[in-house]
Structure 1
Amino acid sequence: MKKFFKILLVVIFVALLGFSGKYLIDSNSKSPIVFTTEKAFKTSIEEKTVATGKVVPEDEVAIKPQISGIIEKIYVEEGAAIKTGDLIAKVKVVPNEQSLNSARGRVKNAQIVLNNSKVEYDRNKALFDKGVISSQDFNNIDLRYNQARQDLSNAQSDLQIIRLGSAGGSSTANTNIRATVSGTILEIPVKEGDQVIESNNFNDGTTIATIADLNKMIFEGKVDEAEVNKLKIDMPLKVSLGAIRDKEFDAKLKFIAPKGDEEQGAVQFKIEGEVFLDKSYFIRAGYSANASIVLETKNDILAVKEALLQFDKETEDPYVEVRTGDQKFERRDVEIGISDGINVEILSGITEEDDIKVWNKTEPVKKEDEKE
């Protein structure tokens, strides 16, 4: 029985050796990767950058009230076309109690002064008609009487302005909020019943509506500090909108910010470009957009595919491997220029005759039946 187990162990051991040997032979018999080569070529390269941003109206006007109160009525809707002078909303005045009381007091005081002046005027008028007093004395009394009447009128107007927002007979009531420019209503951030604050030296006031001309749009975006020095005013842009596919709008660079803002560790500079609109498309304010900017163009230059480049792990200098024999290659350091992300300019290091190694070639994946 022991001899049987010994023989069985020997058979199993021999079988394992056989399988291991076959695996090693198969592994060593695999053919090495055969690297192919490509040559440098002459082409044209455009170096571009893309600025992300949005399209907005060139000018936006915020309409603010000239008096505080409550929105009584809104006469327009967002998106409506409007002209200068059109009525947007009406404000109901809620007077300050202290100011109202003070104005009423001034009216009463002016009325008392006027009554007294009237009595004096009537008495002296009768004396003047009889020739008792001189013309000069009567003229002084008449002047005081007229001044008292004017003071009462002014006090009454002030009281009416505090109560109603405008004096009687005024051609333009402060309670009527009208458009100051022509355009499209972009936003009405208030609703009927909301309280609003007047615009003055200490407060910007509540915005009743925002108006803009949607026929004059600009692109607002940002570019990285590494590329901002390559930009020039009046450079052409190609603007594509997220809301309108397969359409690019021509634009012209009109502003480059003199100061950058740091965002997530990188300094970004604001740019603006005038967009030339196509009347067959309706562009809404705030559409997200990308602007493609050609920074530099070179024609008939020596280039290779960017995928052929390798970079030194220590110096990060670029190089390629050039064939010297059958599956034999040597390193060649190269100097590169502009790139479009696919092809890169070669300034020195190789020629059109050199065969450049496709270093990132991989073995084709075998199918299941081939493995078997």
Structure 2
Amino acid sequence: MNRRKNRGKAAFWAIVIIVAAAIVGLLFMKKGGRGKEEQAKTVKVERMDIVEKALAVGSIVPRNEISVKSKVSGVVEKIFAEPGTRVFAGAALIEVKPNPTPIEIAEARRQVEFDKIDFDNAAKELERSKKLAAKGLISDKAYEDSDKRYRETALKLEMSKEKLALLEKGRALVAGREITSIVKSPISGYILEKNVNIGDPVVPLTSYQAGTVLMTIADMDSLLFKGTVDEIDVGKLEIGMKARIKVGALPGKSIMGTLERISLKAKEENSTRVFPVEISIDSVGTTILRAGYSANADIIVRKAEHVLGIPERVVYYRGDSTYVMVPGPGGSPKRAAVETGLSDAINVEIKSGLSEGDEVLEKPEKTI
């Protein structure tokens, strides 16, 4: 009885081992079949355009962007234009109402009084000098000195009056020209930003302080692409090269430009050395560009048009030799030496060794 049981168990395990071996054999056969199929895949030699490019990453910016500031301290009283508005040079933007302290007003009034006294004294002295000069009792130089002092005190008095008028009223007449606290546009363009509201304090622009930025204005008819190029590619670039600019916010659209500046100094970005570049935009056509759009630019380094080419992935580089594998007699792979030309890292130009329409074997996939 035991013998029968042992024989049954042995038969069962024998069947299991045979089935397992059959499954493994089938898997290997399928795998081998797939390998042969993959090795048999080919690509054709075709005519194509191959472009070597250098990538620049950056954004669209105005060529001329100006921060508008006031030369008078005070508070914002009126705003005449809002962001997005097109203004012309000389247009009123903001009126700044002077907001002097009581001490500043008092000092300005006292200065006018002091200057008036100096002017009156100089006028009397000049009158005396005229009488004495008429009698020949003083020299010409003494008379000229009196006249000079009179004119200087008159000018000083006029300036102190103008300063007082600006502090009290926000406007004054200087040399026949009205000076006001209304800030005007220095250029024609679009208002990009408004940085103040009515009632906000304004610090004036002087030689020792930057002053409050009231608005930002830019000429949106003249735009630039400003970005950076990796140090690996910068040695290939030359001023005047064409570039195709792609804006992230405008998918499917591209704009042509011309490389006009390459920085002589690198800068560090994310542990990588890059060189700033500027590309002028040739024409936007009907495309509406906005300042600050992020963009990429493909700077065209070299271009080969309507040349024979194949995917670079099928090319073998071994030392000084370059070759591809082509179907040989009976379908067995055969080596064919080729001379390559321009590459865009995807396709490569074939200068010799293959003809249009020839088939080239794909490289077999590596299996683990």
Coarse TM-score class (shorter-chain normalised):
0.7 to 0.9
CA 1:164/1:343 → structure 2, altered by over 3 Å: closer, same or farther? same
CA–CA distance in 2 between the matches of 1:37 and 1:113?
A: 103
AA at the equivalent of 1:225: E
Matched, 1:92 2:90: no
Residue 300 (structure 1) shift: 6.5
Residue in structure 1 matched with residue 50 of structure 2 by the alignment: 46
Aligned partner (choices 201, 208, 212) of residue 207 of structure 2: 201
CA–CA distance in 2 between the matches of 1:180 and 1:308?
A: 61
Residue 295 (structure 1) shift: 1.3
Residue in structure 2 matched with residue 358 of structure 1 by the alignment: 362
CA–CA distance in 2 between the matches of 1:71 and 1:202?
A: 22
CA–CA distance in 1 between the matches of 2:306 and 2:173?
A: 79
Matched, 1:297 2:303: yes
Could you tell me whether the CA contact under 8 Å between 1:63 and 1:179 is conserved in 2?
A: yes
**Deviation string, structure 1 residues 40-88 (Cα, Å, up to 9, x no partner):** 7464543232323222222112211112221111111101111111110
Residue in structure 2 matched with residue 157 of structure 1 by the alignment: 162
Percent identity between matched residues is 27
RMSD in angstroms over aligned alpha carbons?
Answer: 4.1
TM-score normalised to structure 1 length: 0.74
Residue 89 (structure 1) shift: 0.3
The equivalences for 1:281-360 within 5 A come to 281-299=287-305, 303-310=309-316, 320-321=324-325, 329=333, 336-346=340-350, 351-352=354-355, 356-360=360-364
Could you tell me whether the CA contact under 8 Å between 1:51 and 1:292 is conserved in 2?
A: yes
Could you tell me whether the CA contact under 8 Å between 1:37 and 1:355 is conserved in 2?
A: no
Matched, 1:9 2:9: yes
Residue in structure 1 matched with residue 281 of structure 2 by the alignment: 275
AA at the equivalent of 2:78: K
AA at the equivalent of 1:80: T
SS, match of residue 181 in structure 1: coil
Could you tell me whether the CA contact under 8 Å between 1:46 and 1:294 is conserved in 2?
A: no
Residue in structure 1 matched with residue 78 of structure 2 by the alignment: 73
Matched, 1:56 2:43: no
CA 1:328/1:95 → structure 2, altered by over 3 Å: closer, same or farther? same
Unaligned 5+ segments in structure 2 are none
AA at the equivalent of 1:228: V
Unaligned 5+ segments in structure 1 are 129-133, 364-372
Residue 106 (structure 1) shift: 2.5
SS, match of residue 161 in structure 2: helix
TM-score normalised to structure 2 length: 0.75
SS, match of residue 252 in structure 2: strand
Residue in structure 2 matched with residue 229 of structure 1 by the alignment: 235
CA 1:151/1:51 → structure 2, altered by over 3 Å: closer, same or farther? closer
AA at the equivalent of 1:339: S
CA 1:97/1:309 → structure 2, altered by over 3 Å: closer, same or farther? farther
Residue in structure 2 matched with residue 254 of structure 1 by the alignment: 260
AA at the equivalent of 1:296: R
SS, match of residue 67 in structure 1: coil
Residue in structure 2 matched with residue 218 of structure 1 by the alignment: 224
CA 1:361/1:70 → structure 2, altered by over 3 Å: closer, same or farther? same
Residue 304 (structure 1) shift: 2.9
Could you tell me whether the CA contact under 8 Å between 1:234 and 1:252 is conserved in 2?
A: yes
Could you tell me whether the CA contact under 8 Å between 1:305 and 1:342 is conserved in 2?
A: yes
Could you tell me whether the CA contact under 8 Å between 2:247 and 2:254 is conserved in 1?
A: yes
AA at the equivalent of 1:217: L
Could you tell me whether the CA contact under 8 Å between 2:166 and 2:180 is conserved in 1?
A: no
SS, match of residue 258 in structure 2: strand
Could you tell me whether the CA contact under 8 Å between 2:165 and 2:172 is conserved in 1?
A: yes
